Chain A
């Protein structure tokens, strides 16, 4: 361990920024979660009323469950696809570069455009699947449709991560394996995948925390509907706060979101051994 660390004063701007734009608002939200406030006048402290209401709010429970489903299913859908395409795109042939850039297009569209585009495509009377399943109208499949749209939007980003990481795998490892007569599949399993381990962690953290706070796509695409079939926790918070104007209770839900998000990131870090991260290359 080197003792030549920069002075702690260098951290002051960052800390000030964090205090002003993260810590302070968070403290305010925690305060608001103990108040009744309809947005008019001043918030009035109401003890733990919002919190006991949260425990009894079946809609909040259901929306936590939907959020978890969304999170897990979109991880399951996005990770293998992004991994495979990313590794494939790391190759050097010309066609790959062209195909990859076409593939990145969704990443360039704004979320609102994507949501409106899919809403139009899935419209039951005039969309692209007339007479097919009611993708956004059937409460049993609407949430999975949302997952597909979100995946379509974000797989390119994760592909980019995997592509970069796959390119950084030393060619010598593959050359050695080729001499030993390893097949493509076993090279992927025994070289590529282990080398990409930390990229998987990074991408997963981004995906999981990202799904937890997914909001805009769902707001525009379904607004939580049909009924409450896609009302995930952030949307439940938004509807409570900005349609029902129950700002106090909405703040309570916001605190839950912060806690869930933090716990999730910490858990992923811990399980994946991210904190002991070090280079796996020989000699370092």
Chain B
């Protein structure tokens, strides 16, 4: 203990009782090891910290309950965006702007659009700590070759291949519809391609009224056409992503495409290794929509995950030191790359060539660097109550129980 205090030159004399930095993150068998290594490195530099991990939903609940209490962590994992904004608005999150300005090396290490994922107003409230996870259109190359089809680059081509696969008795697009966030990926991309990112930014910044933009009905109508065409088959409402349903039918060739976050690659590698190793797993960016205002390079997904510091933390200085020293260290970045993650740092091209899946990692990296806009998933970017309501309406929409106009009316009336 004394060693910690004496070595920790930045902390003031009143800090003598500051214990180990309490860090909370989401459970992940591979990444938690790397996160623990960053803690070891922090300890080697004279700091002290410990990591506690939680499953997804329990984490969100636990954090909510703990944050104002003495049990609050000093650093906590989050997704940035509106999800973080609720905590910022409640005065629970420390402003990291100044410490990032003082440590230019840390600030400049990250891709600006990703660092902005935790920027609210003109202040930074988080530092990226895991890879970037844009949503991609995955496809089964073998199934496409056998059908003599090309991966779709435009909406019309997508509709055409949907018809092709339907005629062959193959589910055109795998969809794990028991979980609304899988359906949300479709709504996000179609709206972005039809109208650009501003429509959703309006909804987020100015409230539910923003849903009334005519572009929303237009894009939901396009999506409805796709659903009614049978693009997702008939049983998607009972397919689960966590249970592996959607990924497995893609790997087995029972489905041709699957829109999913970049983690799908490691997921497939884990569950259907031969499918990936044989080179049958293909991936492309979401098709463009001709006539739409949105740039075809725009992305949606998880920009990254962030560590944010709690305002009331007794070890705030240590927390600030941690996020400005450990998260862009070469050893940390290289470990992430090695685990198959694509870290959100500039100039990672060379490192990514040494990645276990260099082609895939470089694809994602270039995609993010080239994108004009990287929209955080709507359910993370909206306040929790609005997001929960929207997801429910979206599930009803995919079931055909709610029309595009009824969807808009419902979410706009919140």
Contact A122 B238, beta carbon cutoff 8 Å:
yes
Assess A227 versus B235: contact at CB under 8 Å? Given A39-B64, A40-B64. Answer: no
Contact B395 A226, beta carbon cutoff 8 Å:
yes
Taken residue by residue from 78 to 92, chain B's Cβ proximity to chain A (1 for < 8 Å, 0 otherwise) reads as 000000001100101
Assess A134 versus B90: contact at CB under 8 Å? Given A38-B384, A226-B178. Answer: no
Contact B243 A123, beta carbon cutoff 8 Å:
yes
Interface centre among B64, B384, B385, B392 (most CB of A within 10 A): B392
Contact A227 B399, beta carbon cutoff 8 Å:
yes
Contacts of B392 in A (CB 8 A): 59, 227-228, 239
Taken residue by residue from 68 to 109, chain A's Cβ proximity to chain B (1 for < 8 Å, 0 otherwise) reads as 000000000000000000000000000000000000000000
Contact B238 A124, beta carbon cutoff 8 Å:
yes
Judged by a CB distance under 8 angstroms, whether A242 is at the interface is: yes
Q: Report how far A99 CA is from B219 CA in the complex, Å.
A: 58
Judged by a CB distance under 8 angstroms, whether A225 is at the interface is: yes
Nearest-Cβ distance from residue A28 to partner chain B, whole angstroms: 15
Nearest-Cβ distance from residue B351 to partner chain A, whole angstroms: 38
Q: Report how far A126 CA is from B255 CA in the complex, Å.
A: 14
Contacts of B65 in A (CB 8 A): 39
Contacts of B395 in A (CB 8 A): 225-228
Nearest-Cβ distance from residue B137 to partner chain A, whole angstroms: 20
Q: Tell me the residues in window 135-155 of chain A with beta carbons closer than 8 Å to chain B beta carbons.
A: 135-139
Contact B238 A137, beta carbon cutoff 8 Å:
yes
Q: Tell me the residues in window 299-318 of chain B with beta carbons closer than 8 Å to chain A beta carbons.
A: none
Q: Report how far A239 CA is from B178 CA in the complex, Å.
A: 15
Main secondary structure on B side of the interface with A: helix
Q: Tell me the residues in window 35-86 of chain B with beta carbons closer than 8 Å to chain A beta carbons.
A: 57, 61, 64-65, 67-68, 86
Nearest-Cβ distance from residue B207 to partner chain A, whole angstroms: 16
Taken residue by residue from 27 to 57, chain A's Cβ proximity to chain B (1 for < 8 Å, 0 otherwise) reads as 0000000000011110000000000000000
Contacts of B327 in A (CB 8 A): none
Contact of B396 among A124, A227, A245 (CB under 8 A): A227
Judged by a CB distance under 8 angstroms, whether B196 is at the interface is: no
Contacts of A40 in B (CB 8 A): 64, 67-68, 86-87, 90, 92
Contact of B245 among A123, A223, A226 (CB under 8 A): A123
Contacts of B249 in A (CB 8 A): 125
Taken residue by residue from 357 to 400, chain B's Cβ proximity to chain A (1 for < 8 Å, 0 otherwise) reads as 00000000000000000000000000011011100100110110
Nearest residue, chain B, Cβ from A241: B61
Contact B239 A243, beta carbon cutoff 8 Å:
no
Q: Report how far A193 CA is from B258 CA in the complex, Å.
A: 57
Judged by a CB distance under 8 angstroms, whether B236 is at the interface is: yes
Contacts of A126 in B (CB 8 A): 245, 248
Judged by a CB distance under 8 angstroms, whether A194 is at the interface is: no
Contact of A239 among B238, B388, B396 (CB under 8 A): B388
Judged by a CB distance under 8 angstroms, whether B297 is at the interface is: no
Chain A interface (Cβ within 8 Å of chain B)?
38-41, 59, 119-120, 122-126, 134-139, 222-223, 225-228, 239-240, 242-246
Chain B interface (Cβ within 8 Å of chain A)?
57, 61, 64-65, 67-68, 86-87, 90, 92, 177-179, 234-240, 243, 245, 248-249, 254, 384-385, 387-389, 392, 395-396, 398-399, 401
List, sorted by A's number, 21 A–B pairs whose CB atoms are closer than 8 Å.
A38-B385, A41-B90, A122-B238, A123-B243, A124-B235, A124-B238, A125-B235, A134-B237, A136-B178, A137-B177, A139-B399, A223-B179, A225-B237, A226-B237, A226-B238, A226-B399, A227-B392, A227-B395, A227-B398, A227-B401, A245-B385
Query: Across chains A and B, which 4 residue pairs bring their CB atoms closest together, nearest first?
Result: A137-B238, A226-B237, A124-B235, A244-B388
Q: A139-B237, A228-B395, A244-B389 known; 20 other A-B pairs, CB under 8 Å? A: A38-B385, A39-B64, A41-B90, A124-B239, A125-B235, A125-B239, A125-B248, A137-B239, A138-B237, A225-B237, A225-B395, A226-B178, A226-B237, A226-B238, A226-B399, A227-B399, A242-B61, A244-B384, A245-B64, A245-B385
